[in-house]
Structures are given as structure tokens and as C-alpha cells.
Amino acid sequence: MTAQSSIDSEPVETAPAARARLRRPLSRLSLQSKIIVMLLLSSLASLAVIGTVEFVDGRSKLMPVAAERMTQLREAQRRAIEMLFGDLANSLAVYSRGTTADEAVQAFTAGFDQLGEAPVDPGQQAALETYYTDKLIKPIQQATGVNLDLAALMPDNNAQKYLQVHYTLHSHDSNAPQDPGDGSAWSAANVRFNKYFREIATRFEYRDAMLLDTRGNLVYTVNKGPALGTNILTGPFRESNLRDAYEKAMDADSVDFVWITDFQPFQAAGGMPIAWLVSPINSGGKTNGVLALPLPISKINRIMTADQHWKSAGMGETAETYLAGPDGLMRSDSRLFLQDPKKYERDAVAAGTPPDIVAKAIRWHGTTLVQPVDTAAFHAAQRGQTGTVLDHGYLGDQELAAYAPVSIPNSDLRWSILATRNSSEAYSRIESFTRTLIVTTAVMVFVICVLAMLIAQAFVGPIRRLRAGTEEISAGNYDVAIPVTTRDEIGDLTSAFNEMSRNLKIKEGLLTEQRNENDRLLLSLMPEPVVRRYRDGEQTIAQEHQDVTVIFADIIGLDEISSAVSGDELVGIVDELMRELDSAAETCGVEPIRTVHNGYLASCGLTVPRLDSVPRTVDFAVEMQRIIERFNSRTGHHLAIRAGINTGNVTSGLVGRSSVIYDMWGTAVNLAHRMRSSTADSGVFVTSEAYEVMRDIRQFTPAGSISVDGAEQPIWRLSDRA
């Protein structure tokens, strides 16, 4: 019974009330909004269906195109790299099995053996030590942070020492002769064969060309660097990948054998990454040595970067191709690094590359064997897979990457090639298609909205103008006049509104004039910071100041003048003097505080802290004397200035309620006042604190003393007015 009563007692919503509740949201819309909503609802439905169908169909057709373009770029670069290594290997095989290479290695080996007992004096030994320290150890330490042992690098046999003394020490001199005139067989071989091997290095852009004998001695190099004469099996560079390549070449059973190594830092080249191409020098079935060439990284970069003509090669703004090794490091240089090293540095660090790795790339002027590549595309290529993937690149950007392993003959290299493009550029056609579709739809919606607005504007335009005018007045802009375009009730309302706007503008002008006058009066009585606090309604306004210089001055003789002139004339004289004193104070950076009878109180460093407050105040006092003198000469009166100057800490603030006064208090003010009143003589008097500041700038004479807290303090009188 109770439950039934509760149900019966609940109010039942009537049908008219329900319809009113449903209509309430529409009643909040303007007439113009209702017209726009009606047209949009009828048109957007059809536009949505057409746009969705077109978008899905277009995207499905354009997506494979982007991947195909990256695949074509990757394959073109892979073929070029594989052809490059094939050409380099073929050319090296041709040179190594030629008679010139065989004759050269035998001649240099014989000459090297003859130098086994060649003398090297202590001075030459010291020059070698200096060379290794300045040209090898220090640069490697600066580039890599590794401190090499000089003793481990220095030549350990006479032949090596002899060659490095006569050639390596002068390797940086482009004008050094090929024959130092020592008469050795090695120098004769150098004169005979050096031009031949230098042409090989220059033609194929190799960093150097080297000959090694059958015992591992590096008997010749084109550049005559610190590797000259060393033994690749037992010498200081025995841990380089050149040793492994040399051993493979010596063990080869084919005259056409060529071996290509991966990149590795080579200390003799300043720690720079070097890869090697080596081939045995064979004559009559006998291996007489090995020809070794450092891989021309410039040629790899020229292919991978399209010789830095990315746009003309179809790479656009962001596409690049690069090589990476199994250690996850690049084997060619980054496009961004070549274009903008500073931006590469910022982006690489932001993507998580350690700053020391990025700094190393900057020092080495390249990212080969430096920049890590830890992407899904790279790992897939290392697994021997080929394909495309949407991935995050080594710089953290989302990119479309085409990846594949690189097959390089005559080596065990497991390099990967990656062709990448920023996803926004890779899918630019899709984005362009999407933008076109969106723009077209937006234009159609815009046209419908414009038509609706034009229709509704005729009804709601005058009301909107009145509302806009009301908002302007609410914002404080009373210079509003709305054109009367009709003669109906809306026109009458517009005329009444314009009249109200004019009346408010007049009243606002009067209030503004009154406020400006009040501000001017307040600023003449107190500093601007105090005015702001006073306006904000602070009841007690006080502030502590340090290192403020105070001047308290009397104009002597005004009382005598007052008895001889009328009141108007006296006020005019005082006003003239005070105006000149205020102007001088402003020029000197001194701040007037107040005037009392014949007195003038001012400060320097109160509202604007100044390190030279004492000199400025003394200059102001001197200028006061000059103003009085000019007044006397102009009028025939006999006025004088008696001023006291002190420096120290003061307190400033407002006192009074009905009559507000800005004043200063403190020992510095008190002493300045007492000095001014302690003597009947005119002049400028300073305390010991001010005297100590000015004693080397102006001249003073002792003027007695005043008592401060029971102790006598000396004061001085300014005698210098220069």
C-alpha cells in the first residue's frame, strides 16, 4: 500500500510540457543559426558519403605507389654500390698482377733490407718523437680521448727509423723532394715508382697506396705516413683489419684474389675509419708481396648521397640512402649531417644518440662508423630480408624505409642498405589528395553557410549591430555610432542607442580629465611607485632605503625680501627659484622630496638606486649656488644657499590622512638638517661619510663639528665649485 502510494504521488509530465522541454534547446539558437543548421544537416550527410568513398578508394591506390618509389631508389643505389665494389676489385687485381707492382715491391723490399744498418742520430730520434707526439698522439687524443703510448708507436728497427726520418717527417710538406739525396736503393725505388702509385691513388680517390713484403713489412706508402716501415704482423698497427686482409692475400692461391675489409679506426690515419682493398702481387706463381689500398669513402658517399644533388636525383627534401654494418653503425654519411651539421647534432641528441657519439661525428666530419642505426628496417635487412616498413629512423622521425642486404663480392661484409623518406613527404600524394578532398568539402560547406548567412543577415543584421555596439560600450569604447538603416522600431532603438553613446563619451572625457589632473598632483607630491601603492589603498606606506644621499638646503635672504615686496611678487620669486631647482635636480638625477618655508629637501638614490649618489648630490648643490647667483645678478637681491649633505640609510613614506605628505626620516636626514642649521654661514657642508667619497674629486675645508649621540663628528665645507 505504501509503495503504491509513493508511485501515485510522483508528478506525471504532461505532453505539452514534454514538447516544451524538447523545444527548449532550439529556442536558445539564433534565427541565423537555425537556418544554417537546417542547410548543413541536409548537405553534410550527402557530402560525408561521397567523401568517405573517394577517400578510401584514393588512399588504397596511392599507398603502394609511395612504397614502390622507395624500393626503386633502394635498388638503384644497391646496384650502384655493388658495381662500385666490383669495379674497385677488378682495377686492383689488374694493378697487382702487373709487372710494375711486382718490380716495385721487390725493389722496395731490397731497399728496405739494405737500410737495416742505416744510422739515425739522437737529433733525428728526437725529431721523430716530436712528430709522433704532435701529429699522431695529440690529434687522436683530441678526437677519441685515447692516450697512445709513445714508446709503443716509435720505430723499433733502423730501416723503419731511417725511412721515417727522411720521409715521414716531411710527409706534410707538399714540396718535399721524392729523393732526399741519401743515395739509398729505397730512395731510388721511390723516384722510379712513386709517381705510378700516386696516380693510382689519385685516379681512384684512394687515401693512400701501400706495398707490403712477404714478412709483413710495410715497405712503401704514397703518403709516407707513420705506417711507413712498420710491420703489420708485429708492429704498432698489428691489431688493425689490415693485418687480417694481408694474411688472406698471402694465403690466396689465385692471382686475381681481392679482399675487401670493413671499416675500422686506423691509428696511423689519426684514428679515422678505414676499410682496405688488398690483393697479392704474384709473379710466376710466387707471391712477392701485397698491394693495399684504403677504401675511397668519398666514392661511397658520392653514390649514397647522389653527390649531394638529392633533389635532382629524385630524393626530394628528406629522402636519403645509407649503408649500415652488422655492428649497427653507419658505413656512409648522413644526409642531414652533410647538409646541416648543427641541426644533425640537435636532432641526433634529441633522438637518443649519446652526445659524445654526436661530438665524435662532428670531429670526424662524418657519420661513418659513428652514428648508430637501431631501427626495425635495419634489423630486418641484417636478417637477410628485403621490403619496406613504416618506421622511426635514427633521428627519431617517422619515415618510410625500404631495406635490403648488400651483396659485396670478395669480402665477408654483412652490410645493409636503407632508403628512407620522411613519412609526411613519402605520403605527400595521399596528403595532397586528402587536403584536396577536405578543401573541396569545406568549400561546399562554406558556400552553403554563406547562402544561409546572407538570407539570415537581412533579418538579424540590425540586432547584431546593436549587440556589437553594446559590447563596445561595455569594453569602454564610447565612440560608437550605428548607422540607422530602417524607419521601424529597430531604427528608433538604434537612434536612442547612438544618443546614449554620445552622452557616455562626454561624461567619460570629463572623468578622464579629472583623473589626469589627480595623477599629476600626486606625482608632484610623491614618487610614482608610492603613487601606485597609494592608489591601491594601502593604509601604511613606508619603505627602507640604503645608500641614499640627502641634501637639506636653506635659501638665505628670502625673509628679508618678503618684507620689501608684495605677496604676489614673493610667491613669483619662490616659484621661479623652485622651478629652476627642480629642473637642476632632474638634470643631476636628484629627487626633490618637499619644501618647507625656505628649506629644500631632496635625495639621490631613493627611488632609483645609484652608485654615484654622493657626486650627483654635490653637483646639484653647486648648481643650486649658481642658480642663486644668477638670480641675484638678474634681480639685484642678495640670496644665498646653506646646504647640508649626508649619505646613509633612510626611511620614506606617507603620513597624514586628510593632508597627505611624503617625507623621509633617519639619521642621514637628521644630520643633513643639523649641518644646515648648525651655522649661519652660507655654503655647502658635508659629513665625514660624504667627505670620504668626494675628497679626491673636490676640495673641502674643515668647518667644525656637530654632536651626534654625544660624540663630536667633523664636518667640511665645499670650497671647490669647478
pLDDT tens-digit series, residues 38-90: 766 776 676 676 656 555 555 555 567 778 888 988 999 899 998 988 888 89
Task: Compute the average pLDDT of residues 600-619.
Answer: 87
**Burial category of 710 from C-beta neighbours within 10 Å (exposed 0-12, middle 13-18, buried 19 and up):** exposed
What pLDDT does 5 receive?
Answer: 42
Residue that wins the pLDDT comparison between 712 and 185: 185
Lowest mean pLDDT among 326-330, 399-403, 421-425, 442-446: 442-446
- Give per-residue pLDDT as tens, 473-487: 777 676 777 787 777
What pLDDT does 205 receive?
Answer: 84
- Give per-residue pLDDT as tens, 259-290: 999 988 888 887 788 899 999 998 878 899 99
Task: Compute the average pLDDT of residues 145-161.
Answer: 81
- Please, which pLDDT band fits residue 488 given cuts at 50, 70 and 90? confident
Asked if residue 326 has pLDDT above 80, the reply is yes
Asked if residue 9 has pLDDT above 50, the reply is no
Asked whether 418 and 373 are in contact (CB, 8 A), the reply is yes
DSSP per-residue codes, 677-717? HS-SS-EEEE-HHHHHHHTTTS-EEEEEEEEETTEEEEEEE
The Cα–Cα gap between 80 and 481 comes to 76
Residue 650 bridge partners (DSSP): 545
The Cα–Cα gap between 683 and 695 comes to 17
From the list 611, 608, 601, the residue with the least C-alpha distance to 676 is 601
What pLDDT does 203 receive?
Answer: 86
What pLDDT does 455 receive?
Answer: 64
Asked whether 689 and 648 are in contact (CB, 8 A), the reply is yes
Q: Which ranges in the chain are annotated with CATH 3.30.450.20? A: 97-295
Write out the three cell numbers for 645: 649633505
From the list 316, 322, 305, 308, the residue with the least C-alpha distance to 429 is 316
- Please, which pLDDT band fits residue 18 given cuts at 50, 70 and 90? low
Q: Which architecture, in CATH terms, is 539-718?
A: 2-Layer Sandwich (3.30)
Lowest mean pLDDT among 535-549, 597-611, 689-703: 535-549
Lowest mean pLDDT among 21-25, 92-96, 430-434, 575-579: 21-25
529-535 long-range contacts (CB < 8 A, ≥24 apart) are: 529/607, 530/652, 530/653, 530/654, 530/662, 534/654, 534/660
Where is mean pLDDT largest: 285-294, 426-435, 671-680? 285-294
Asked if residue 210 has pLDDT above 60, the reply is yes
Task: Compute the average pLDDT of residues 696-708.
Answer: 86
Which element (helix H / strand E) includes 283?
strand 276-283
Write out the three cell numbers for 506: 562626454
SS3 at position 457: helix
Asked if residue 37 has pLDDT above 50, the reply is yes
Compute the mean pLDDT over every residue in the chain, rounded to the nearest whole number.
81
The Cα–Cα gap between 369 and 273 comes to 7
- From the options 3.30.1490, 1.10.3470, 3.90.226, 3.30.450, give the CATH code of 304-426: 3.30.450
Phi/psi at 398 (5° precision): -75, 130
What pLDDT does 10 receive?
Answer: 46
What pLDDT does 171 receive?
Answer: 73
The Cα–Cα gap between 685 and 676 comes to 7
* Superfamily of domain 97-295, CATH level 4: PAS domain (3.30.450.20)
Asked if residue 434 has pLDDT above 60, the reply is yes
Write out the three cell numbers for 617: 648630490
Tell me the percentage of the chain whose pLDDT exceeds 70. 82
The Cα–Cα gap between 692 and 614 comes to 10
Asked if residue 342 has pLDDT above 90, the reply is yes
Q: Which ranges in the chain are annotated with CATH 3.30.70.1230? A: 539-718
Asked if residue 141 has pLDDT above 90, the reply is no
- Please, which pLDDT band fits residue 186 given cuts at 50, 70 and 90? very high
Lowest mean pLDDT among 3-7, 203-207, 276-280: 3-7
Q: What's the CA dihedral at 679, 684, 690, 693 to 10 degrees? A: -150
The Cα–Cα gap between 616 and 622 comes to 10
- Please, which pLDDT band fits residue 12 given cuts at 50, 70 and 90? very low
Residue that wins the pLDDT comparison between 452 and 107: 107
From the list 560, 486, 544, the residue with the least C-alpha distance to 664 is 544
What pLDDT does 6 receive?
Answer: 42
From the list 551, 553, 661, the residue with the least C-alpha distance to 599 is 553
The Cα–Cα gap between 631 and 621 comes to 15
Residue 404 CB coordination number (10 Å): 22
